[in-house]
Structure 1
């Protein structure tokens, strides 16, 4: 009976769990772009630099609160990101849904752009999104293990608890599929020293959550790391 209740709880949590709330520029947004936003989306560094030299606002906002840096991150234009950073753009700015460039790159599973942002000084420690989460929680949820590796190295908070009362460790389990990518993600978190005893709102430990889902590899990882 207890196992059935855990399974039902897992299904309900999965259905109610975080969705990717980021809104990338739509075709109509792109069509309306002018100035730095247009150059950022196109990767037109020459136009971007000319506008910056003429005094364009590096932190101008579009209709969704996206700066040129957000747009360049969505478009994966590292050269534009570097030019904006050199011109003094706010690398930690949030758009209207409270996503920063680091979280945008993390959700997109874009380790190249993420590496660029982090090397320029963007923070991996911000509280982002409507879930009061972090880039690390988002990447763990999605099983983006190379992104997780970078975020951990950049000092992302390992044990932050979002407003669903989930940590990165818990999200790698309850919102993952138990497959290789989520297994690698959990291993990275455990080796980094994430707290494996923090529970969800119902008091379930990561080990319990992995066990009830039948994620045997994750169970083994957790037990080897001392989880109970």
Structure 2
């Protein structure tokens, strides 16, 4: 029973918390400034409550006393719950010792606890108006944080549930239709003392466990004999679900438990299509050794190799080749996009250089790609990918290949440079120099009758024009053009 006549002025309470971190002291000062001089109810020793401690302004004893909050100078032990259900405010709680309760629900109040907090079931922090500081450890079966200001100086020991993690542990009905945690539903179940976690046999969603950030729930499911071939709504087995989510440690556990590897989901994707997060050579070897058709196409017409190339995954490409997969021909996919286009779009040239070294065919028909007739060199050049251009030139791609409009890679690059490379000073000039050094003809005319020198003259970048002009004057440049461009460059 609280002695509501034992009070302490706010100024004295602030002195007692001088050992708390600066942020905690600041929050307390800001909070008590709104109390209009009201004191704290003071307990000068340990406080033990048989029942609940309610810390809301509309709950007793705060309806009976004008006070800013509760100060406990010793330990606080509550057999039931400590609750602050109002999301915007509540009586302030300051405890200079440890706190023990069956459940804790914290809303919009400010709580400062110097010691350790031990909770039998759940610690629930909801909304961002409140603040809770724990100077020691926080120990609970479950710690739910819904965008809450919770600062723990020690460690948090318990199952953590927040907006981004721990979802697989929640029982059915606590995840909404958008896949987000339904914190209101958790709050309601917690208030009724109902289960929140999947800790009972038969309650674990094996696919959610396979997709979880940690492996604890999956290991629990495996220990209980979970069905490793169960399919979800997309036809994924737990192994496929783990790999699609990038949970390779979970994939390893499923492989060890005997999961069948040679399976596909409703999209025709098998484990080999889903190697994007696999960096462990052991997992790569186990998966690829067990797949019977490494060149099988998914429903979108893509093989595992094509998928790996699309995501610029050199490790997976090398592993697939080592296990017998073939490099695909550069034909179109069903969406009308050549897989090799990825190599032109990327500023990283390691995968491109590797594929060229392996003898990959990266040429496609002039009618294949939007009827533009671009070679891979055209695509890499106008995108400004110097490393890719150098790799393609070294592999023998023609520097003066013509597209459907008769443009060379140099001409195409100069046409598009103001739009593509306008915010990269010097990049256009560097690309021009690389192409010219490889023998590009600056006077090769396209179907419109113009050449690379015309395109350079149309730009405002005189460095580019000077570079192209220097190469052009070594060829058969008409005297009139020579005079016009030389005059422009001299007057700048």
TM-score by length of 2: 0.34
Distance 1:49 1:167, change over 3 A: farther
Distance in 1, matches of 2:286 and 2:169, equals 23
Q: Give the alignment of 1:104-183 within 5 angstroms.
A: 104-106=274-276, 108=277, 110-112=278-280, 113-121=283-291, 123-130=293-300, 132-160=301-329, 161=331, 162-173=333-344, 176-178=345-347, 180=348, 183=349
Q: From the CA coordinates, give the structure whose radius of gyration is larger.
A: 2
**Which of residues 262, 270, 275 is equivalent to 1:100?**
270
Q: Distance in 1 between matches of 2:335 and 2:359?
A: 22
Equivalent pair of 1:207/1:227 in contact (CA under 8 Å) = yes
- Cα distance per residue 1:163-187 (max 9 Å; x no partner): 24544433222xx332x3xx11111
Does the residue aligned with 1:158 lie in a helix, a strand or coil? coil
The CA deviation at 1:62 is 0.8
TM-score under structure 1 length normalisation: 0.66
Deviations 1:86-121 (A, max 9, x none): 45x2x2423233332222222x3x222434412444
Q: CA deviation at 1:69?
A: 1.3
Kindly tell me: are residues 82 and 38 of structure 1, through their superposed partners in 2, closer, same or farther at Cα, counting changes over 3 Å?
same
Higher normalized strand content (fraction of residues): 2
Deviations 1:99-146 (A, max 9, x none): 32222222x3x222434412444643221253x112322332222222
RMSD value, Cα: 3.1
Distance 2:346 2:169 in 1: 34
1 CA distance for matches of 2:294 and 2:233? 25
**Residue-by-residue CA offset, 1:8-56 (whole Å, 9 max, x unaligned):** xxxxxxxxxxxxxxxxxx987885584643554464346426526xxx4
Given candidates 217, 220, 226, the residue that maps to 2:387 is 217
Aligned residue pairs total 188
Q: Whole-Å Cα distance in 1 between the matches of residues 318 and 326 of structure 2?
A: 13
- Counterparts of 2:378 and 2:324 in 1: how far apart (Å)? 27
> What residue is the counterpart of 2:350 in the other structure?
184
Unaligned runs of 5+ in 1: 1-25
More relative contact order, 1 or 2 (CA 8 Å, 6+ apart): 1
**Partners of 2:272 and 2:291 within 8 A in 1:** no
Residues 136 and 148 of structure 1 are in contact (CA less than 8 Å); yes or no, is this contact kept in structure 2? yes
- Aligned pair partner of 2:225 in 51, 57, 75: 51
User: Residues 36, 29 of structure 1: CA spacing in aligned structure 2 closer, same or farther, 3 A cutoff?
Assistant: closer
Q: Within the alignment, does 1:226 sit opposite 2:384 as a pair?
A: no
For the 8 Å contact 2:297–2:303, the answer to whether it is kept is yes
* Contact 1:78/1:116 (<8 A) preserved: no
Distance 1:151 1:60, change over 3 A: same
Cα distance in 1 between the residues matched to 2:346 and 2:395? 20
Match of 1:81 in 2: 254
Q: 1:95/1:27 Cα in 2 relative to 1: closer, same or farther (>3 Å)?
A: farther
Cα offset, 1:70, TM superposition? 0.8
Structure 2 CA distance for partners of 1:111 and 1:217, relative to 1, 3 Å: same
- Label 1:137 to 1:154 Cα distance change in 2 as closer, same or farther (>3 A): same
Equivalent residues in 2 for 1:2-41, closer than 5 Å: 34=204, 36-37=206-207, 40-41=210-211
Gaps of 5+ in 2: 1-164, 173-202, 399-492
